[in-house]
Structure 1
Amino acid sequence: MQIPRPLGAIAIGAALIIGTQALGQSSDTDHDHSHAHDHSHSHDEVAERIYNGYFEDDEIKPRTLADWQGDWQSVYPYLEDGTLAPVMAHKAEHGDRSADAYHDYYAIGYRTDVDRITIEGETFTFYGDAGPVSGQYASDGYEVLTYKKGNRGVRYIFEKTAGDADAPQFVQFSDHAIAPTDAGHFHLYWGNDRAALLEEVTNWPTYYPSSLSGEEIVHEMIAH
């Protein structure tokens, strides 16, 4: 059974540079997120700065799969069935696009046929249209991506060490954090070509805990 790469993937070649140069297109840490955090404490200001992709190299720390343990659901079905409409309306109120335009943007970003992922220890199980496939994964380091507007993102990368043949060889996490912490949500990239995945900037399947209802996810998204 084949687990596809996130749909909508493109390779943008020279437009993406790992390290110090720039991406030519929007990216996993260059989304149209709205932020409504309290800046009254320095800790909040640091967290906001890092979340928005502004950090120093010495702030980046290795991470393990402990940060992403759990049962996770894709938000794509909630976008398609209208549950996330209040989020799109909220973005339109604070951004430079209409709610419909935001919906179209996120329809490309969130698109995937893997509605659920579980991570238990080193084992990922991907629940796609054709059924589940599993693999065991070990850390393969991280890569720092720099984007056109000057902000950066960190992709934490894990490589398959055992498991089903159809399980992807690589998975890459982006969750706006750059040091060990329990993730509240994440964007995930998967496939068999490590370098090509780093070039993916248009499609970033996004996962929240499966314990959350659609309405609770709406609340979380608007809060951030």
Structure 2
Amino acid sequence: MSDPRAGLVRRIGKDTLKEAGTIAVEGTPYNIAVVGGSGVVHQGDGHDHAGHAHSHGDPKIYAGYFEDSQIRDRPLSDYAGDWQSVYPYLRDGTLDPVWAHKAEKGTTSAAGYKAEYETGYRTDVERIAIEGDVVTFYEDGKPTKGTYASDGRETLTYKKGNRGVRFIFRKTDGDAGAPRFIQFSDHGIAPAKADHYHLYWGDDRASLLEEVTNWPTYYPSSLNPAQIVSEMMAH
């Protein structure tokens, strides 16, 4: 739906009739001609991985093209919930249909994509629970907890020319084994509830910003393996 006064095209969900995102355009848009489309390019932190069925608002922002003026601080509550790593599903072959699907349109074989994501998804932390300002990391079922407060954000530019924002939180209390810093990347740049995310953690804030090959990825624990595959392939 066009919004001439605001200089926007507003995306409206056909089922909910609620705004799903906006696209900033020049001038005063009035008429819209739809000539086709292939969905959202799902990129971030230098990698291009399978997308999924949720709406991510403005597709340009989701693909990593945005203005600094559009970035807003985000609270830890955007990532609240119980989350599962997708790394076990890569290792046991559950995600193999995703790599085959990517290979159909990409420039790499299914095996090549799987190898890339094996590095990207690799982690020993199989579950993360976030409630209030407390983040609990589970490794082999054993919890390690930390209390975290916002430590700002950093905007990164990747080799492909797109950008991403890391939202950073610093440990203020908790177990010695809990990382000093955690950095979230979910392709969003303003407050919104995450439906998945990539997480970077460690004790050196600056060095974490240099990490772009290992991005442990988490989806809601309420999703079963088939649902996660469906989410990734609905692109």
- Superposition TM-score tier, normalisation by shorter sequence: 0.7 to 0.9
User: 1:7-18 maps to which residues of 2 (within 5 A)?
Assistant: none
The yes-or-no answer on 1:174 pairing with 2:185 is: yes
Q: CA deviation at 1:46?
A: 6.1
- Give the corresponding residue for 1:30: 46
- 1:122/1:138 contact within 8 Å kept: yes
- Give the corresponding residue for 1:198: 209
Q: CA deviation at 1:129?
A: 3.1
The yes-or-no answer on 1:78 pairing with 2:89 is: yes
Q: Which is higher, the Rg of structure 1 or of structure 2?
A: 2
Other structure's SS at 1:55 match: coil
- Using CA pairs under 8 Å that are at least 6 residues apart, name the structure with larger relative contact order, 1 or 2: 1
- What code does the residue aligned with 1:31 have? H
The yes-or-no answer on 1:150 pairing with 2:161 is: yes
Q: CA deviation at 1:66?
A: 1.0
4+ long deviations beyond 6 Å? none
Q: CA deviation at 1:132?
A: 1.1
Other structure's SS at 2:227 match: helix
- 1:28/1:201 contact within 8 Å kept: no
The yes-or-no answer on 1:213 pairing with 2:228 is: no
- What code does the residue aligned with 1:30 have? G
Distance 1:114 1:46, change over 3 A: closer
- Give the corresponding residue for 2:195: 184
- What code does the residue aligned with 1:149 have? K
- What code does the residue aligned with 1:77 have? P
Identity %: 65
Structure 2: runs of 5 or more not aligned:
1-42
Other structure's SS at 1:165 match: coil
Alpha carbon RMSD of aligned pairs, Å? Answer: 1.9
1:46-72 deviations in Å (ceiling 9; x for gaps)? 621111100000110000011000000
Structure 1: runs of 5 or more not aligned:
1-26, 38-43
Other structure's SS at 1:181 match: coil
Other structure's SS at 1:157 match: strand
- 2:51/2:231 contact within 8 Å kept: no
Of Structure 1 and Structure 2, which has the larger fraction of its residues in helix? 1
* Structure 1 Cα separation of the partners of residues 135 and 110 of structure 2: 34
The one of 126, 142, 145 aligned to 1:131: 142
The yes-or-no answer on 1:164 pairing with 2:194 is: no
Distance 1:136 1:36, change over 3 A: closer
- Give the corresponding residue for 2:32: none
Distance 1:127 1:159, change over 3 A: same
* Structure 1 Cα separation of the partners of residues 156 and 81 of structure 2: 27
1:69-124 deviations in Å (ceiling 9; x for gaps)? 00000000000001101101100011011111100000000000000000000000
Other structure's SS at 1:196 match: helix
Other structure's SS at 1:211 match: coil
Q: CA deviation at 1:29?
A: 2.9
